[in-house]
Amino acid sequence: MFRKRPPPEEERRVRANDREYNEKFQYASNCIVTSKYNIITFLPVNLFEQFQEVANTYFLFLLILQLIPQISSLSWFTTIVPLALVLSITAVKDATDDYFRHKSDNQVNNRQSQVLIRGSLQNEKWMNVRVGDIIKLENNQFVAADVLLLFSSEPHGLCYIETAELDGETNMKVRQSVSVTSEPGDPNNLASFDGEVVCEPPNNKLDRFCGTLYWRDKKYTLTNQNMLLRGCVLRNTEACYGLVIFAGPDTKLMQNSGRTKFKRTSIDRLMNTLVLWIFGFLVCMGVILAVGNAVWEREVGSLFQSYLPWDPPVDNFLFSAFLSFWSYVIILNTVVPISLYVSVEVIRLGHSYFINWDQQMFCSQCNTAAAARTTTLNEELGQVEYIFSDKTGTLTQNIMSFNKCSINGQTYGEVADPLGPQPKKLDFTPFNPLADPGFCFYDDTLLESVKVGDSHTHEFFRLLSLCHTVMSEEKSEGELVYKAQSPDEGALVAAARNFGFMFCSRTPGTITIREMGQPVTYTLLAILDFNNIRKRMSVIVRNPEGRIRLYCKGADTVLLERLHPCNQELMNITSDHLNEYAADGLRTLALAYRDLTEDEWEAWAESHRCAGKATSCREDRLAATYDQIEQDMMLLGATAIEDKLQEGVPETIAILSLANIKIWVLTGDKQETAVNIGYSCKMLTDDMTEVFIISGHTVQSVRQELRRARERMIELSRTRDGGKEEGTGGWSEACFMGNGVREGQGRDVAGGVKQLQCSPPPPSNLTDNISGEFALVINGHSLAHALEADMETEFVSTACACKAVICCRVTPLQKAQVVELIKKHKKAVTLAIGDGANDVGMIKSAHIGVGISGQEGIQAALASDYSFSQFRFLQRLLLVHGRWSYLRMCRFLCYFFYKNFAFTMVHFWFGFFCGFSAQTVYDQYFITLYNIVYTSLPVLAMGIFDQDVPDHRSLEYPKLYEPGQLNLLFNKREFFICIAQGIYTSVVLFFVPYTVLSDATQSTGVPLADHQTFAMTTATALVIVVSVQIALGTGFWTVINHVCVWGSLGSYFTIMFALHSQTLFRIFPSQFHFVGSAQSTLLQPVVWLTIALATAICIVPVLAVRFLKLALRPRLSDTVRYTQLVRQKKRKAVSRSAGGGWRSAGSVSEGRLGTRGGSRRSGYAFAHQEGFGELITSGKNMRLSSLALATFASRHSSSWIDTLRRKKHTHTHTPPSTSEECSSAPSCVSGSVPPLSNSSSILGGSQDTPIEEDVGTASAQNTQTVPTSSAQTQPALAPDSEATAPQDSALALSTGIFTSPAVRYHGGDSPGGWTVSLGTVQEALFGWKGIAVHTNASNSPGAPSVAKETSQLE
């Protein structure tokens, strides 16, 4: 890492089995070094690093100054002791960190791997693996470096890897070797393999690799499909061989684990500013005193020379003043105490431990405690204003559960009385021994209906068990595991299973299910696959009796239009049900079937075959044929699937918004889904004045929509306010009701002004005037425009006036951009929370990043500053820990500056009486120990343990969080108050002893005005005053606080007596000048009277002011504290349930939810990608699944199976292979036309011209086919297909970068094509994230042209 590199690589050349050749390039070896030091370099390097800190350098500078005798006003040890202490604490911490890094490095570097050297396999340590080596990897081994797959034991050169360490996805991925190298079929031939790879230099792009293999005078293109990256684990593959391309620090894993950006809190920045100010103050003091010194030396000192001649180098008063300036800089340096930074770190560390230790943030299901991964941000948790949340996996569990259904006009699953006792969970086991015990359903009428043998119900569940693309694995007898592509499907199949229609297994041509215990095998004639345009899928099966039937499930909007007219009545009832379900935030699907005659089937099969073999526009022709047969269907019913929210999400969101935190949901999901979730987690409510949807596809339309939204907001709030009160009353109400509360109050005024200047006429003082609750939903493609420089401010001002903002279809990059935008324009503290690799960007760019841990994938948690396993813990993290941290840090800082000013400024006043000679008031030992012993522990104890209100109170009154957001507890004003108080104290501490002692004598007649007595008196008074002050400041006196406060006082007296003892003086007579002064001073009543007087004068005004503040302007926390005291006194349990406020609010809106009716259309439950049906019918995937099956048997400890099993026990059946975003990732390009959208413009797919042509033809074809098939549905359908056509092509692009040509040319059932179309197989199975993201990023610029094209088509 410290190695000097030759100029950055342009390209990498690696020749296999040729170390000499490769050594020329000096590629990094596979040895990784994450440690910073070794034993020899530790001291110098660590010291060097520490002295890069300005504060440390400053103290070093002071130390050097002190070595100059003419300047030295303090002994050298007064600076070096604290400095050494601080340096050594930091050094010990660094050393421990580094020790663990060494350990982990060693462990990794010493792993064994098999390297092919001179034709034979040899065991080598990882660190000795070189670029160009061929290494052998075995099953379940970690890949040692980034290697090019040359040979795999599996057919077709395939091998399977798990990339959890890289991107957090636990699903398996397939890699394939270059065909030529896998051909030999014998690994021994690899010893003589001498191909040369030319490829890109090391980079951190996990999803991209491009290179070329030159072998035997031929060129072979290499892609990421051929690479195994370090950190992956080989699965289901006996062995494979690979050529090391990147090693050690060059690997993608290491390139990705870059140092995370160092985050600073606003308090940190404020502290640094203040420290700079204090430096300025220090210099001013120095200058004043130096001028004083000049005057004094000229007027008095020069005359006084007979007793006190000038030091030899000093020959005039100016030079003396110059020296005196530096002397004063030295003795006044304690206003910026060196222990400040260390103390702050210690306090933060303590707070971090409290977060780690919090039981209430521990999730017992996943056995994960909260973790503060960064220890430097805690107090910022108390100042958060904006939360950016991911949806899937963060707000939702990504678990779908079959919740309700409507069969033949009868709805099931309705819980009769929501207020009644929790109905009993149905027990399926007596009825169906194969039922999944994790499945929950509460309505036994449905089960009765199944038992009775109602034909509709049977047909309903038969459909669910047949019409899907789930695959099953029988792990052991009777234990079936379903692998579904989307969780929705898994939930439906699992439901059917429980109701007696168990899907057992499938082959390319058959589906075997158990109907009420009887195995029945259906012949699978065709799968009419799902895609985002069709929004439905169908299967055509022949039952054992030979009847052919088409089963179809899909979005109600699509399906209900394709029903046979005789269904009208049923359709109306089912529609009502669907609306009800949708209103409850459920994801719905409609189910239908159609009987086909043999002739119909034959005819259609023929046309289908033709379409499938078509060389051009195959996709569209297929779609047209599908459309042809999915007509005149008979409605069966509808299903409602609950996208389960994480526990406590609505409550948490309610509490957080009561705390004035604005929550933005940034999700890759479809708009419908996102809005649905918004409603179900109470971000959006029907109480809201208006929900604005921004989904324009062009810059102009987005701008227009934003403006319109804002104008409407103003208009609405004007009518609202106007109706109530005129004038100021209305205005103030607007301020309080709207979200503009903050903006109205000062600090964002500047921002508003800026907006006025730089943005094209935005309505003035917008945010001030907005009242009422608004929400904004913005689509990814619109967001892309909104984030452009000239629209930024417009977007921010609109969005920030809204109570809730939902951004859907956003890319990871956009997530980060949105966060950056708010950071830039609002100067507010932002927090991003997410669970997936796609959230890493926003987690890193937000002030605070929170990762959901304990779920699949650790990428987000690794990048985060805090991690825990449940979204609901966020309220505790912010409202309890964050609030306390902020409070404690503020109190700590206030007190810290106070005590140092009180301590140091005494020297300033003394300067006027000692000829500005920089004589210290105190004993030098006192100066040394004051900050590190006498006053450090009480303030640390307060900074770590203080609480103003107990934790449950802060959750009960979320408004308590507000002072943090407004930055009320420690700001420049508070700082000046502290400083003023400190100066006041110093004045008292100097002048009270001055006036009292100047004439006072001991009871023996010896005057008390000698320097040592004065020093003792002042020092004792100081220690007592600051102790009383901390006692007043401490609101929560634990044992530790008592020990610290009393202990500090005790230690002061003990140490003083010890230092002034005769014993020490006898040993070092020249070091302890103060011998005996402690005894002789502290025995004097006058001294104690002086101390008491000074203390009273210092404390009484503070007490009075605090009391007045409490009485006249109590803060909410004071009131809460006070009422608590009252309650304690009354010993009366006030029955106020925790969080009563939000609960009642919640129930109100819940009540309304039911009455809303069909105001909102549900997002349909279909979240997966197409291409799956084709795989099933072609049989390609069977090989993989049987292989997987075989390995599952031998690999019981496989983590993802276990994860699955665990989930099965806790929740309903969940398919294992869904990564959280698989539903949305590839389709971010464009949503379907949103029902609420007021835009008709369309976003195209991508820049690639061939694809654009596809877009054209696709939409053209779609629109052409519609009229031929069904004239009556055309008006409703047309906009739909127009909008979704581009998306189709985008999908084709995302899956087709590597493989789509193959798909086109080889057709559906050609077995020869399957190795080449591997990409499709794999990505369809496991979700394609990387390329989808890649596509998304590049899609926006192409938009206008495509839009134009499509409009021409219209």
d(Cα 1278, Cα 374) in Å, to the nearest integer?
A: 53
1350 annotated as ligand-binding: no
Beta-bridged to residue 1292, according to DSSP, are: none
CB 982 within 8 A of CB 895: no
HEC profile of 210-221: CEEEEECCEEEE
Cβ closest to other proteins, residue 36 vs residue 1334: 36
Q: Are strands 662-666 and 804-808 parallel, antiparallel or unpaired?
A: parallel
Cβ closest to other proteins, residue 57 vs residue 1062: 1062
List, as own/partner pairs, every contact residues 425-429 make where C-beta atoms lie below 8 angstroms and the sequence separation is at least 24, other chains included: 428/498, 428/499
Closest CB 1013 distance from other proteins, rounded Å: 7
d(Cα 334, Cα 900) in Å, to the nearest integer?
A: 6
Q: Are strands 501-506 and 371-372 parallel, antiparallel or unpaired?
A: unpaired
CA distances to 521, 980, 1332 from 908, in Å: 97, 14, 67
Q: Which of 749, 767, 834, 750 is nearest to 803 (CA)?
A: 767
HEC profile of 921-936: CCCHHHHHHHHHHHCH
Locate tokens 């000679």: which residue?
A: 917
Closest CB 1122 distance from other proteins, rounded Å: 6
Closest CB 29 distance from other proteins, rounded Å: 14
Cβ closest to other proteins, residue 714 vs residue 1009: 1009
- The token duo for 417 is 């009385």
839 annotated as ligand-binding: yes
1288 annotated as ligand-binding: no
Cβ closest to other proteins, residue 162 vs residue 794: 162
Neighbours of 38 (CB within 10 A): 11
Cβ closest to other proteins, residue 152 vs residue 869: 869
Cβ closest to other proteins, residue 453 vs residue 1085: 1085
Edge-to-edge strand ranges of the sheet holding 169-176 = 169-176, 158-163, 233-235
Helices (H), 213-316: 252-256, 266-296
Closest CB 373 distance from other proteins, rounded Å: 9
Closest CB 1010 distance from other proteins, rounded Å: 5
Beta-bridged to residue 213, according to DSSP, are: 197, 220
d(Cα 1327, Cα 1295) in Å, to the nearest integer?
A: 10
Q: Which of 133, 390, 721, 1288 is catalytic?
A: 390
Closest CB 309 distance from other proteins, rounded Å: 6
809 annotated as ligand-binding: yes
219 annotated as ligand-binding: no
Closest CB 19 distance from other proteins, rounded Å: 25
- The token duo for 748 is 């964002």
CB 52 within 8 A of CB 313: no
530 annotated as ligand-binding: yes
Cβ closest to other proteins, residue 70 vs residue 1274: 70
Neighbours of 1138 (CB within 10 A): 11
Closest CB 1038 distance from other proteins, rounded Å: 4
Closest CB 804 distance from other proteins, rounded Å: 20
What values do phi and psi take at 213, rounded to 5?
-105, 125
Q: Are strands 134-138 and 112-117 parallel, antiparallel or unpaired?
A: antiparallel
Residues, the chain, total?
A: 1354
553 annotated as ligand-binding: yes
Beta-bridged to residue 641, according to DSSP, are: 402, 587
Closest CB 103 distance from other proteins, rounded Å: 8
- Residues of 118-156 as b/e, b for ≥16 C-beta within 10 angstroms? eeebeebbbbbbbbbbbbbbebebebbbbbbbbbbebeb
Cβ closest to other proteins, residue 61 vs residue 100: 100
d(Cα 1172, Cα 623) in Å, to the nearest integer?
A: 15
Closest CB 159 distance from other proteins, rounded Å: 18
263 annotated as ligand-binding: no
The DSSP code sequence of 404-466 is EEEETTEEE---S-TTSPPPPPP--TTT-TT--TT-----HHHHHHHHHT-HHHHHHHHHHHH
838 annotated as ligand-binding: yes
Cβ closest to other proteins, residue 303 vs residue 610: 303
1288 included as an active-site residue: no
User: Quick one: CA dihedral 85, 88, 90, 93, positive or negative?
Assistant: negative
Neighbours of 1050 (CB within 10 A): 11
669 annotated as ligand-binding: yes
CB 240 within 8 A of CB 152: yes
Q: Which of 1048, 934, 1049 is nearest to 337 (CA)?
A: 934
Cβ closest to other proteins, residue 431 vs residue 1088: 1088
Closest CB 754 distance from other proteins, rounded Å: 34
Cβ closest to other proteins, residue 571 vs residue 656: 656
Cβ closest to other proteins, residue 460 vs residue 916: 916
Helix (H) or strand (E) holding 1052: helix 1039-1059
1207 annotated as ligand-binding: no
d(Cα 716, Cα 703) in Å, to the nearest integer?
A: 20
User: Quick one: CA dihedral 679, 682, 688, 691, positive or negative?
Assistant: negative
Amino acid letter for position 325: F
Q: Which of 558, 526, 555 is nearest to 540 (CA)?
A: 526
- The token duo for 788 is 């452009």
Helix (H) or strand (E) holding 1228: none
Residues catalogued as catalytic: 390
Output the known binding site for ATP.
390-392, 489, 530, 553, 587, 667-669, 809, 815, 838-839
Output the known binding site for Mg(2+).
390, 392, 835, 839
Output the known binding site.
390-392, 489, 530, 553, 587, 667-669, 809, 815, 835, 838-839
